[in-house]
Amino acid sequence: MVPHRLDRATARRVAVRAQLLDARRPTDLLALVDRLTFLQIDPTAAIAPNADLVAWTRLGAGYRPSDLTRALERDRSLFEHRAMVRPMTDLRLHLAEMAAWPEPGRHRDWLAANDAFRRYVLDLLRDAGPLLSRDVEDRSAVPWPSTGWTNNRNVTQMLEFLAARGEIAVAGRVGRQRTWDLAERVYPPGTPAVPAEEARRLRDEQLLRSLGVARPLVVGEAGEPAEIEGTAGAWRVDPAALDGAPFAGRTALLSPFDRLAHDRRRALELFDFDYRLEMYVPRAQRRWGYFALPVLHHDRLVGKVDATADRKASVLRVDAVHQDVPFTAELAAAVDAELSALAAWLGLAGGVRRQ
């Protein structure tokens, strides 16, 4: 097939529309997650938890975090798995992968050495679930070996591993703490597993639909081949995105984990946008701030906003607005309006406070 030849403006607009960040804002949370394929969960909440911030950026003031909680815990229209929120209708695309996990190696060896611990956890959840991790006794025979965050956190590791295998699932949350239960009490009974190879193909197609354009390394052979002006190497494009519809953009403040800018190389190639998340960078070495929000304006990423939700003072504190390109009066006003909308959504009565 002859590759599609796209200029970068077209590629950017395809990417923005695919992520539902153009002027045609969605209105339904479930439809949003279905289109994006997932919302990433991250505990950092300098502004708001990532899943909520990504949803607000698309849905606007009508979105409430309780909507996500209800979909996960009451409606079961969404499920949480390995730090991602996904549509329950996509569970079938992950079951084969769960059943095959883990591959031979230290994870499988540790599970085998702690099989009695595994069976204890399953029996405990069957009798008393859902439970928090602190409600589960550490009965490991062999501690989990690690030099990092998970060193000797045996209960947490066992719960994570059993969830990865599809034996248990996240049933809900108490604050930020997950509750766990048997998967059969969280997932719809009788959900058929799509064979692994077919499931991978379908997931690649979904991911490309959510990105618009992506490298084959990310989406495999999904979509159709493309070449993008000013970039080297192969791309894949969702052909449905090349419908010739006129583009209408808007201004948006993005989470640092937002998929429009999450792939730093892609953001640089398509948007000329240089960015890194600096919350693990020493303060003196930060260029943009602890949790700087990328700024989208129409089909360009034009800057970063260093902001923090100061809940004690009930203000959205803005320490800096970094302009990658000089802001026009119109753009500056649009960014100010988004900051005010964000403060209102967060319930910060004092509004925006610039330092």
- State which of 162, 185, 208 marks the end of a domain: 185
Domain assignment of residue 197, yes or no = no
Domain that holds residue 336: 1-65+217-354
Closest CA to 270 of 299, 236, 238, 241: 299
Domain assignment of residue 75, yes or no = no
Both 334 and 228 in one domain: the answer is yes
pTM as predicted? 0.95
Q: Taking residues 308-323, what's their average pLDDT?
A: 97
- State which of 170, 185, 200 marks the end of a domain: 185
* Domain total of the chain: 2
Both 332 and 237 in one domain: the answer is yes
Both 232 and 320 in one domain: the answer is yes
Both 235 and 305 in one domain: the answer is yes
Both 1 and 122 in one domain: the answer is no
Domain assignment of residue 247, yes or no = yes
Domain assignment of residue 83, yes or no = no
Domain assignment of residue 308, yes or no = yes
pLDDT tens digits for 165-224? Answer: 999 999 999 998 999 999 999 999 999 999 999 999 999 999 999 999 999 999 999 999
Closest CA to 186 of 173, 202, 203: 173
Residue 151 has pLDDT above 80, yes or no: no
Task: Write the CATH number for 175.
Answer: 1.10.10.10
Q: What is the pLDDT of residue 1?
A: 87
Both 239 and 331 in one domain: the answer is yes
Both 1 and 48 in one domain: the answer is yes
Both 221 and 281 in one domain: the answer is yes
Both 102 and 49 in one domain: the answer is no
Q: How confident is the model at residue 149 (pLDDT cuts 50, 70, 90)?
A: low
Domain assignment of residue 212, yes or no = no
Chain centroid to CA 212: how far?
Answer: 16
- State which of 185, 207, 229 marks the end of a domain: 185
H helices present in the chain, as ranges: 8-18, 29-36, 50-59, 65-73, 95-100, 106-113, 115-128, 154-164, 196-211, 216-219, 264-271, 329-345
Alpha carbon distance, N-terminus to C-terminus of the chain? 55
Q: What is the pLDDT of residue 189?
A: 94
Both 239 and 341 in one domain: the answer is yes
pLDDT tens digits for 288-301? Answer: 999 999 999 999 99
Domain assignment of residue 78, yes or no = no
Two tokens, residue 61:
């003031």
Both 222 and 346 in one domain: the answer is yes
Give the whole-angstrom CA distance, residue 153 versus residue 156: 6
- On whether the CB atoms of residues 169 and 73 are closer than 8 A, the answer is no
Q: How confident is the model at residue 148 (pLDDT cuts 50, 70, 90)?
A: low
Both 175 and 228 in one domain: the answer is no
Give the whole-angstrom CA distance, residue 57 versus residue 339: 11
Two tokens, residue 307:
């902001």
Amino acid at residue number 126: R
Domain assignment of residue 233, yes or no = yes
3-state secondary structure of 296: strand
Q: Taking residues 77-88, what's their average pLDDT?
A: 98
- On whether the CB atoms of residues 305 and 354 are closer than 8 A, the answer is no
